[in-house]
Amino acid sequence: MSGLDIAIRGVGGTVSRIAFGPLPGLTAELDTSKTVIVTDGLIRRVHGSSFPSCPVIEVERGEAAKSLASLEALYGRFLELELGRDGLVLAIGGGTVSDLAGFAASTWLRGIAFGFAPTTLLAMVDASVGGKNGVDFRGVKNLVGSFSQPRFVRMDVSLLSTLPDIEFASGMAEVVKHAVLAGGGYFDLVRAEAGGTPARRPDRESLERIVAGSARIKAEFVERDEREAGERRKLNLGHTIGHGIEAASGLPHGHSVAAGLASACRLALGLGLLAEAECDRITRLIEACGLPSSIAGAAAAAGLADGSGLRAAIARALTADKKRRGEDMLMALPEAVGSVSIRSVPIADLLSFVQEAP
């Protein structure tokens, strides 16, 4: 087993421990009389026998979980279960479950402890690490949320054996993003393990190397800049255009980010920031993971006959983006594999790019 034992020290002194370990082992480590589990119905059906014996609250599956209505329902169940200040919320699921449950816990009684047991690759390599929690509002992703670190993250890669290929590929998008950010040996590892078809998955050992590598890369950014005032913004690579694609296409988060990352590469190429060979290297890795590498590719993957509606939706999302500063957008753009910078791009140029890009 690849080692993984990361401690993220959050603002306010909270420490988040991220480690590998079997999900059933949590039973012995938690006070089950004070713990409530938040999950979705599918995960409970497939992995419920490994859950610690605590009350279980089911939320909706997928992005629908990240709504104010789900949040209110969750608060209602916390009240019924008399979840007190000494309680703990354990989110077992993908990024939607952990984003919602983390936000609910971090606001319940002004904030109680919570832990994550991620069950998707995307949640292991990204959503469970870093303390960003939240829900969507009026069609805009993550508009309402908190920075609050989970007390622990328990990574059990054996849970991924039941994950559908499309969800596995979605997680690989964030892995590719980390590979572009870190470059060097991690890019080579991911390229060696990205199977060419979604059906070929890395074996357990390789999977643990990927999860550990990505979790470490993300944790390093978070430790340097928990509140995203500077360096952490680089983790948004691919998300500026990706969020627009996700909101309008219904594609999984990672597929949208992959198309957003490839688009960011093309934008950087057009701005003279990224060499064509580097752009190709990144795009090839995205495609090797079975992910869309353009806006048109995302439209096709979503079954949208005409990509123009998608481009219009991306334009709407860009104008409402949190990273907008007046007439400019702060964007993470690659300059090479292993080098990403934050640039101010005029919104007008970005909107033209979205209309014209492949």
Ligand X SMILES: NC(=O)c1ccc[n+]([C@@H]2O[C@H](COP(=O)([O-])OP(=O)(O)OC[C@H]3O[C@@H](n4cnc5c(N)ncnc54)[C@H](O)[C@@H]3O)[C@@H](O)[C@H]2O)c1
For the annotated catalytic residues, the residue numbers are 110, 132, 174, 218, 228, 232, 236, 239, 243, 253
Q: Is 336 exposed, middle or buried (0-12, 13-18, 19+ CB in 10 A)?
A: middle
Residue 115 sits in the site that holds ligand X (CB under 6 A): no
Q: How many residues bind ligand X (CB under 6 A)?
A: 32
Among 4, 38, 83, 97, binds ligand X (CB under 6 A): 97
Q: Is 21 exposed, middle or buried (0-12, 13-18, 19+ CB in 10 A)?
A: middle
Residue 40 sits in the site that holds ligand X (CB under 6 A): yes
Question: Which position has the token pair 């303390």?
Answer: 131
Q: Can you name the residues that pair with 341 across neighbouring β-strands?
A: 333
Question: Which position has the token pair 């989970």?
Answer: 150
Among 19, 30, 42, 320, binds ligand X (CB under 6 A): 42
Of 41-49, 106-114, 226-234, 281-289, the segment contacting ligand X by CB under 6 A is: 41-49
* Residue ranges in 166-205 that form contacts with ligand X under rule CB under 6 A: 167, 170
Of 5-13, 25-33, 127-135, 186-194, the segment contacting ligand X by CB under 6 A is: 127-135
Of 157-165, 292-300, 319-327, 338-346, the segment contacting ligand X by CB under 6 A is: 157-165
3-state DSSP call for residue 188?
Answer: helix
Residue 130 sits in the site that holds ligand X (CB under 6 A): yes
Cβ partners under 8 Å of residue 350, min gap 6: 240, 267, 318, 329, 331
Residue 154 sits in the site that holds ligand X (CB under 6 A): no
The closest of 353, 337, 211, 213 to 282, measured between CA atoms, is 337
| Spatial separation of the C-alpha atoms in residues 67 and 75, rounded to whole Å | 12
Among 106, 120, 214, 249, binds ligand X (CB under 6 A): 120
- The residues binding ligand X (CB under 6 A) are 40, 42-43, 46, 61-63, 66, 93-97, 99, 119-120, 122-123, 126-127, 130, 132, 141-142, 159-160, 162-163, 167, 170, 252-253
